[in-house]
Chains A and B, each alone.
Chain A
């Protein structure tokens, strides 16, 4: 049953071949048996999951399922606030934090009948690209346990790849869904900024964060996105536009679509195996009737620098609230400032401290214009270039990452870690939607991801191209052998 996509599970529920309870039980059993080795989960909510599965089963029996996700066993990145279930953000500072409320995304998933299995691991406060920097334990890549699953949503990508959840949710601030999806050989989508509510999503960089799904195939991706997309009055940055019927659009093919191939995404020093796999994928799409056209996004090479100013600046602000006063860790001190300073010193890991310091500095008196102001202007240029490109092409296709999954401890230097997100960051700066879909394997058997970017709110077309590609190839049939 593992590695069966959600739409097959629910087909089986409908036919009565399988029950949500049985599905939940087998996922929980598998987590109990295997997650020691993968480390995908921080918290497993066994009883809640089984209770939700029983409810779902009752609905399926009564012929009144809540929809195509009713009874789907899912995992949530531990940045999504869950009422009554601790939400840690992978940090010591929130180790014991139990939110009194559900994130909008979680509310919608519950309303859709989803069975939440647990909360998945991440780099602390979503700062990282490897899920090595969780305060609790690292997560391992199911394809090769000596390697990282990518990050920061590495717990979610590893859970889906390892058959420890049928689908999962993560957040993508600079590639934190697409990069781990590529590393783990699953589908991962970052929707348009504003398409999915951020209410209840513990913020990293508010102007960049977006929630999105991990799935075993593109059809599930569409189902999962449909369940969470749409306006939320509690998020002022959420977009009020109606949500299209992604499923209905899915099988329309790529014939007649123009795909842009950006020169700047094939850089010196990128893994030749990735370049070959992506170019082959483009040929597949051409073969399916798409037109391929070169586009230029010259500010791409400055996007990383802009991102590493905007992100730390916003993060330093968002993380100011963790001071030992209202919730989370407190370390005793001789007075208030001492308590706060020691709490934050003990509660945050090295990368979080580095980014808080960098962001505070970039916003401090005398430096704002040179750093934050400048970065926001560069961001405008990145947006303009995408807009100009999308005036000529319908979608942009590119590699998701410049390299495949690396070994634990391989990237000790923060800067080399930052470079991992060089192809995904521009999408966040401009707010556009993007998906990573498996497009092959390296010689060492590690997955490679194809990134498809679209116009703002054009998730339907992004998914349509990904679906056409997936149907034309057989990458999905390969699974990691965990047992």
Chain B
């Protein structure tokens, strides 16, 4: 991550409280810089664990605390994850890359330089296809590089008022992958769409857990406005602290308005870094004027260059999974599910795998070939499974107590009339709690649907005898009275009666009275 910088003490007045709708006389130009924590076991340059949530300073060693004398050693897995992502983003993986030191002082950065990449990054020149207004579009990715994360600062109060701050170096040295897009996004919505698509790819590649609350994915934006028709770019402003999709969009929307208003008033936009204050809904200037960037990059002498072996890159390429976009399109064409379903089902590789496994299991478990099965599976996943488990959590889905085969088993019981859809929802909850398969639960709890005409007729006769008022109402034309009778029958059978059969038998008997 780039440094938070120092914050001016002047209260933010500029732009705060703007509520005008987005202006149309300017073209918006946005580029995003995303830092993703890589899901390695150990840190970028030492063997310390990357696990989240330990007590402060319990997950460090001399290397990640930047003690005198220590040296870094590159984590091969981090490089592999970088290459995997670069290939997924259609980047050119540079045959030779190296690390560089980036210098600035901040107390959460132990060496007061960050080991990053500068002139020879891991990969360059790729793109990510997103669904934009008016169809899909390729958003250029300028570069992708690896670096180390910094520690965490805790302020006693807020940064502005704190008399002192506290440092926890647990996160220091966790591998980060920085990806810089080209300034090719044209609206705040597009920026949010890009970030969503970006995150989905990382989750699919299993290189980052995508957890924005825990800071596994962090986003900064560059935004400028120019009058429509003008070719040169306007002055760009960098916005930091955009740590959710909603914040990306809100902050950029605010910034579009702020800049447009300034331009309308004939003011010049100042090239600066601004911080998004999510709680207050505005961006504010971050750096004091005298602070100039001068990172003094030079090649990291403690690390040697990487000359990436073609065979290794090819091996990683060959093992790339089908990416979210391609899979989404295939789900629509192959299974005939709506685009919306396809999008939900492809929010993680585990969920997409789950879906396909369930569809396949249902196909082989149930008789015949029904075209609506894939949609039925999708409905059950979207309304039931995802109510219980987060769909973008690979591990949660992989370890779902209801396996795809068990879900298929449940749906087969509905298809063949063994249980009703309503009962099935109860069975689903029981499966979730116990991990047992549907047939076992239905048998154990006697939930089999009453589909025996003789038995049901007997119950209907009893119900009708007990409800002469309802029968009178029905006869006088109050058709809804039948519903009350159905309800009574269902109640009498503990919900196990086949509703279609109850309806038919009841109508038959009512017509004969």
Measured CB to CB, the residues of A under 8 A from B are 79-81, 87, 89, 94, 97, 99-101, 103, 198-203, 205-207, 233-237, 313-314, 316-317, 320-321, 323, 325-327, 336-337, 340, 360, 363-365, 368, 372
Contacts and interface: CB of A to CB of B under 8 A. Distances in A.
B401 interface: no
B111 interface: yes
B333 to A, nearest CB: 49
A199 B113 CA distance: 18
A340 B105 contact: yes
Interface string B73-112: 1100000000000000000000000000101010100111
A154 B18 CA distance: 68
Given A80-B69, A236-B72, A237-B301, 11 more contacts: A206-B301, A235-B71, A236-B303, A317-B101, A317-B113, A323-B107, A325-B107, A340-B105, A363-B296, A364-B296, A365-B294
Nearest to B72: A236
B304 interface: yes
A136 B71 CA distance: 27
A320 B101 CA distance: 11
B62 A100 contact: yes
B68 A81 contact: yes
Contacts of B107: 323, 325, 336
Nearest to A325: B107
Among B65, B68, B72, the one with the most A-chain Cβ atoms within 10 Å of its Cβ is B68
Nearest to B66: A321
Interface string B298-309: 100111100000
A232 to B, nearest CB: 9
B90 to A, nearest CB: 30
A340 B106 CA distance: 10
Given A321-B111, A321-B112, A360-B296, A236 B69 contact: no
A45 to B, nearest CB: 18
Contacts of B113: 317, 320
A233 B69 contact: no
A97 B66 CA distance: 13
Nearest to B104: A320
A77 to B, nearest CB: 12
Given A320-B112, A326-B65, A234 B71 contact: yes
Contact of B110 (A198, A326, A364, A365): A326
Contacts of B105: 320, 323, 337, 340
A449 to B, nearest CB: 28
Among A87, A97, A323, A327, the one with the most B-chain Cβ atoms within 10 Å of its Cβ is A323
Nearest to A89: B68
A189 B202 CA distance: 51
15 contacts: A99-B67, A199-B70, A200-B69, A201-B69, A233-B73, A314-B298, A316-B296, A317-B103, A321-B66, A325-B110, A327-B68, A363-B297, A363-B298, A364-B296, A368-B296
Contacts of A368: 296-298
Interface in B30-46: none
Interface of B: 62, 65-74, 101, 103, 105, 107, 110-113, 165, 167, 294, 296-298, 301-304
Contact of B73 (A236, A336, A340): A236
A314 B101 CA distance: 10
B302 A237 contact: yes
A87 B68 contact: yes
A87 B67 CA distance: 12
Contacts of B72: 236
9 tightest A-B CB contacts, nearest first: A320-B112, A206-B301, A363-B296, A207-B301, A202-B68, A200-B69, A81-B69, A321-B111, A202-B69
A99 B103 contact: no
B150 to A, nearest CB: 12
A202 B66 CA distance: 11
A327 B67 contact: yes
B47 to A, nearest CB: 10
Given A321-B111, A326-B110, A200 B74 contact: no
A323 B112 contact: yes
B69 A199 contact: yes
B500 to A, nearest CB: 71
A340 to B, nearest CB: 6
A365 B296 CA distance: 7
Contacts of B68: 81, 87, 89, 94, 97, 99, 202-203, 321, 327
Contacts of B296: 316-317, 360, 363-365, 368
Contacts of B101: 317
* Interface secondary structure of A, over-half rule: loop
A340 B69 CA distance: 20
A341 B113 CA distance: 16
Contacts of A235: 71, 73
Contacts of A199: 69-71
Contacts of A336: 107, 165
Contacts of B71: 198-199, 234-237
Contacts of B112: 320-321, 323
Contacts of B298: 313-314, 317, 363, 368, 372
Among B66, B70, B294, the one with the most A-chain Cβ atoms within 10 Å of its Cβ is B70
A236 B74 contact: yes
Contacts of B301: 205-207, 237, 314
Contacts of A79: 69
A472 B67 CA distance: 46
Contact of A236 (B62, B65, B103, B304): B304
B300 to A, nearest CB: 8
Contacts of A363: 103, 296-298
A216 B68 CA distance: 30
A325 B167 contact: yes
A365 B107 CA distance: 23
Contacts of A206: 301-302
A206 B104 CA distance: 19
B70 A320 contact: no
Contacts of A200: 69-70
Contacts of A237: 71, 301-304
A320 B62 contact: no
Nearest to A206: B301
Contacts of B294: 364-365
Contacts of B302: 203, 206, 236-237
Nearest to B47: A234
Contacts of B167: 325
A347 B294 CA distance: 24
Contacts of B70: 199-200
A379 B73 CA distance: 25
Among A233, A234, A326, the one with the most B-chain Cβ atoms within 10 Å of its Cβ is A326
A80 B103 CA distance: 25
A195 to B, nearest CB: 15
A468 B113 CA distance: 47
Contacts of A321: 66, 68, 110-112
Contacts of B67: 81, 99-101, 326-327
B304 A320 contact: no
A340 B6 CA distance: 15
Contacts of B110: 321, 325-326
A198 B167 CA distance: 28
A481 B347 CA distance: 81
A198 B301 CA distance: 12
A200 B101 CA distance: 19
Among B62, B69, B105, B298, the one with the most A-chain Cβ atoms within 10 Å of its Cβ is B69
B62 A101 contact: yes
B320 to A, nearest CB: 29
A237 B299 CA distance: 13
Among A97, A233, A236, the one with the most B-chain Cβ atoms within 10 Å of its Cβ is A236
Nearest to A313: B298
A62 to B, nearest CB: 34
Nearest to A314: B301
Contacts of B303: 236-237
A203 B107 CA distance: 20
A94 to B, nearest CB: 7
